[in-house]
A and B are shown apart, each in its own frame.
Chain A
Amino acid sequence: SQQGEEDPQALSIQEGENATMNCSYKTSINNLQWYRQNSGRGLVHLILIRSNEREKHSGRLRVTLDTSKKSSSLLITASRAADTASYFCATDKETSGSRLTFGEGTQLTVNP
């Protein structure tokens, strides 16, 4: 079963705008990771945030984690058409070793 749930399921924005995607999960976690997937391709690792971290930045990406609400958000600033992809959060639960559990993803479309 999927632990993470992404919100929204689909997001369409104009180039240059910011995109925010949210992820909620159900159980305590060790880490939360965000991945990008272009259509029909493998997953590209974007960023990992540990359960004791609250915010992390990487280039145009900003990830926040609120363990009290069991939620995370991914912000992409100054979006580009090349950012068009599906975005997944994946959690590593405390009791599951290193198994990653994925949500169903947010399909982001950035219109030029």
Chain B
Amino acid sequence: DTGVSQNPRHKITKRGQNVTFRCDPISEHNRLYWYRQTLGQGPEFLTYFQNEAQLEKSRLLSDRFSAERPKGSFSTLEIQRTEQGDSAMYLCASSLWGLNAFFGQGTRLTVV
């Protein structure tokens, strides 16, 4: 499978715990994006990387959120001290120079 891969697919965590999600993009893609989607809404942009550089962050990305792409390949998104409002689908996408962004299946986070 050469598409965008996200792990885990589902995560249930208790409020206050930290969680980390991983995204493996399509190998030749230099740009990687994170989005968040709540029920009935379209995806909302969180952040994106070009190679290992984080070039843009949304104001939605509070200080409890951090994303890395250390070697310009896979990326991780960490949420610290989770809150119930963090419950959502977290989507990762990759593209080559911003064209035709391809999405993974997402990680569904439930904070209880």
Contact = CB atoms under 8 A, between A and B. Distances in A.
Interface in B51-73: 55-56
Interface in A34-55: 35, 40-45, 48
A98 B31 contact: yes
A35 B103 contact: yes
Interface residues of B, number: 29
B45 A99 contact: yes
Contacts of A88: 42-43
Contact of A102 (B6, B42, B104): B42
Interface residues of A, number: 26
A42 B44 CA distance: 14
A21 B99 CA distance: 22
Nearest to B47: A99
19 contacts: A30-B98, A33-B101, A40-B108, A43-B91, A44-B103, A48-B100, A90-B101, A92-B98, A97-B48, A98-B48, A98-B101, A100-B33, A100-B35, A100-B43, A100-B45, A100-B93, A104-B41, A104-B42, A105-B41
Given A41-B105, A96-B56, A105-B42, 9 more contacts: A41-B106, A42-B91, A42-B103, A43-B91, A45-B101, A90-B101, A97-B55, A98-B33, A99-B33
